[in-house]
Amino acid sequence: SQQGEEDPQALSIQEGENATMNCSYKTSINNLQWYRQNSGRGLVHLILIRSNEREKHSGRLRVTLDTSKKSSSLLITASRAADTASYFCATVHRDNYGQNFVFGPGTRLSVLP
Amino acid sequence: DTEVTQTPKHLVMGMTNKKSLKCEQHMGHRAMYWYKQKAKKPPELMFVYSYEKLSINESVPSRFSPECPNSSLLNLHLHALQPEDSALYLCASSQVIPSGETQYFGPGTRLLVL
């Protein structure tokens, strides 16, 4: 079952603008991760934020996590055409079988030159 | 080496064919995963292997049969597939530690079932 839900589903911005994507989830998590996927390719890990962290930065990426609201946001600053891709949040929680990754539906970002 | 490789890149098969997808990693990861991804949808988990043992099978039809011959290899055997099984099949691997870590994905095999 899908746990993460991203919004917006699609986002189109101009190069140089900032892009913000949101993710909501339902159950308790160990950590939340964001991945990028270029069209028809494999996913690339961007950033991981643990359940006891509130904010994390990596280059032009900033991720926040609000466990009370069960939500996370990904901010890409000073966007570039190369940032055009689909972005997925993945929530990670453990059950009796090990760790379980559940991906949200994704946000398709288009950065126009 | 932080790469997960998958072969073939593309596969076209008939509904009566038997084929296999292959995945390989040399990062020492002991967890490996198969996902199925339809167009404009997120990856859906199919199988998880932990220490070469099947730990999660997400109610996948028996026409998909996974195999983990050793800690570096993961296969997905396909038999009597249906056209709706056409999708991108992604393999991933990760460390097996309590807090859960990053998954490394291969480029995928794009499968078309005629």
Q: How confident is the model at residue B50 (pLDDT cuts 50, 70, 90)?
A: confident
Q: Between A and B, how many CB-CB pairs are < 8 A?
A: 67
Phi, psi torsion values for A4, nearest 5 degrees? -80, 145
Nearest CA in chain B to A85: B40
Q: How confident is the model at residue A7 (pLDDT cuts 50, 70, 90)?
A: confident
Q: How confident is the model at residue A13 (pLDDT cuts 50, 70, 90)?
A: very high
Instruction: Read off the pLDDT of residues A70-108 as tens digits, 9 standing for 90 and up.
Output: 999 999 999 999 999 999 999 877 665 556 778 999 999
Average pLDDT over residues B66-82: 95
Average pLDDT over residues A34-41: 91
CB contact under 8 A, A40 and B88: yes
Q: How many CB atoms lie within 10 A of CB B53?
A: 9
Name the strands in the sheet holding A61-66, side by side, starting at the edge strand that comes first in the sequence. Answer: A5-7, A19-24, A71-76, A61-66, A55-58
Instruction: Read off the pLDDT of residues B7-25 as tens digits, 9 standing for 90 and up.
Output: 999 999 998 899 999 999 9
